[in-house]
């Protein structure tokens, strides 16, 4: 019996100890891991709400920015569509109207109601144009490289327009000259395109400018993508680069007089100017005059290889000349004409963007279009 009482007493003691531990354990755990204060949860909730608020604010800001951009595009488009009030009392003078852009422009603006004075180089071109237009249109024979001819024509135009002045001057006359590698050419090969495309344009502009200032009108210079990028050798590209420079300085000088100056940069178009047969004939004539060394460097089949390369780029040639005339129309009639117009899909998609690229990329793409030389060591 004494042993039984001991065991019973031990069991009672153990149970009492277990109950005590059960009461103490929560206190111990609380000391080891104290509960977070209520303000901590409050701060966390505030941070969450702030994050949600910032997210919503960012979304609203993006929405307003997009809305503003859309509004700007809309207003810019509307601005470009605003036209001058009346064109039936306005005179415009266009050079190079025998064919191509100038010929189509003269017909188009005559139909619109402008008083068109179309300058042609040949009598046949003048006669053909008059046969297809109204009595409002007048033609005049003009060689832009002849200073006396330009002065006489200016006086004749002055008598025609009277006190109204000249609303529009479109410098369109131009020639390609010889398009060939630079080391094939002489100084004389550069002279013709520079005389016509640059000095002829400047001569006509300087003489007609007082009439344009009187009307607070427009000057439109037809340049080329060749004035932004040297695509081929010869005098055409330098002349068009110079036209771009003259155009920019003229635009800034005339701004104070209320005269708008625009430059049109057509891509490759199928016109008499770019007649492949005439271009080939000129190149063959130059080839016959080359030294034996240069012929050996380029090889007898170089011209044929170059033509084969060009045949692969026929998709670049624009057939619709009205794309250029539409640019002229906007520059003449818009209340807010552009300073530069790119005409033709090739100009907009390839040539003009390429002109902004690094020279190393320009060289890589343009040199791929050139035929390989036969013997570089024959120097």
Helix H or strand E segment including 319: none
The torsion angles phi and psi of 340, rounded to 5 degrees, stand at -135, 140
**Euclidean distance between CA atoms 290 and 46, whole angstroms:** 85
Alpha carbon distance, N-terminus to C-terminus of the chain: 132
| DSSP letter, residue 373 | P
Integer CA distances (angstroms), 27 to 17, 37, 93, in order = 16, 17, 103
- Residue carrying the six token digits 């191509």: 100
Q: In what order do the strands lie in the sheet with 115-120?
A: 138-141, 115-120, 91-94, 168-171, 218-222, 260-266, 340-343
**Euclidean distance between CA atoms 82 and 337, whole angstroms:** 10
User: Angle formed by the axes of helices 123-131 and 100-112, to 10°?
Assistant: 30
Helix H or strand E segment including 264: strand 260-266
Q: What is the DSSP string of 117-185?
A: EEEESSHHHHHHHHHTS-TT-EEEE--TT-HHHHHHHHHHHHHHHGGG--SEEEE--------S-GGG-
**Euclidean distance between CA atoms 222 and 342, whole angstroms:** 10
SS3 261: strand
Catalytic residue, chosen from 91, 236, 298, 302, is 236
**What residue spans of the chain are helical by DSSP H?**
2-32, 38-81, 100-112, 123-131, 147-161, 187-193, 201-215, 236-254, 276-288, 292-298, 302-311, 322-333, 345-346, 352-355, 359-367
In the residue annotation, 190 being an active-site residue is answered as no
Residue positions annotated with a catalytic role:
236
């Amino acid at each position: 019996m004494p042993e039984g009482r001991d065991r019973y007493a031990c069991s009672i003691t153990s149970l009492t100890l277990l109950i005590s531990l059960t009461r103490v354990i929560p206190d111990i755990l609380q000391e080891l891991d104290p509960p977070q204060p209520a303000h901590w949860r409050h701060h966390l909730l505030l941070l969450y709400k702030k994050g949600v608020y910032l997210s919503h604010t960012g979304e609203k800001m993006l929405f307003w920015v997009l809305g503003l951009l859309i509004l700007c595009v809309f207003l810019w488009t509307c601005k470009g569509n605003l036209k001058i009030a009346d064109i039936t009392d306005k005179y415009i003078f266009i050079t190079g109207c025998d064919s191509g852009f100038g010929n189509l422009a003269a017909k188009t603006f005559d139909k619109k109601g402008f008083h068109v004075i179309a300058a042609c180089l040949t009598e046949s071109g003048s006669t053909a144009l008059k046969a297809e237009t109204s009595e409002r249109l007048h033609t005049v024979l003009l060689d832009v490289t002849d200073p006396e001819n330009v002065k006489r024509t200016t006086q004749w135009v002055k008598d025609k327009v009277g006190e109204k002045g000249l609303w529009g001057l479109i410098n369109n006359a131009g020639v390609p000259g010889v398009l060939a590698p630079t080391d094939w050419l002489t100084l004389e090969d550069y002279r013709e395109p520079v005389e016509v495309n640059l000095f002829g344009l400047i001569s006509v502009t300087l003489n007609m400018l007082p009439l344009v200032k009187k009307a607070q009108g427009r000057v439109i210079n037809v340049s080329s993508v060749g004035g932004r990028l040297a695509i081929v050798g010869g005098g055409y590209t330098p002349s068009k680069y110079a036209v771009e420079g003259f155009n920019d300085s003229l635009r800034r000088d005339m701004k104070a007089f209320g005269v708008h100056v625009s430059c049109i940069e057509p891509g490759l178009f199928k016109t008499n100017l770019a007649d492949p047969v005439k271009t080939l004939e000129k190149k063959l004539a130059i080839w016959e005059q080359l030294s034996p060394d240069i012929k050996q460097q380029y090889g007898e089949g170089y011209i044929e290889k170059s033509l084969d390369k060009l045949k692969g780029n026929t998709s670049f040639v624009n057939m619709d000349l009205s794309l250029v005339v539409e640019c002229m129309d906007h520059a003449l009639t818009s209340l807010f004409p552009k300073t530069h117009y790119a005409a033709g899909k090739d100009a907009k998609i390839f040539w003009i963007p390429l002109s902004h690229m690094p020279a190393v990329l320009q060289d890589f793409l343009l040199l791929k279009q050139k035929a390989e030389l036969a013997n570089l060591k024959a120097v």
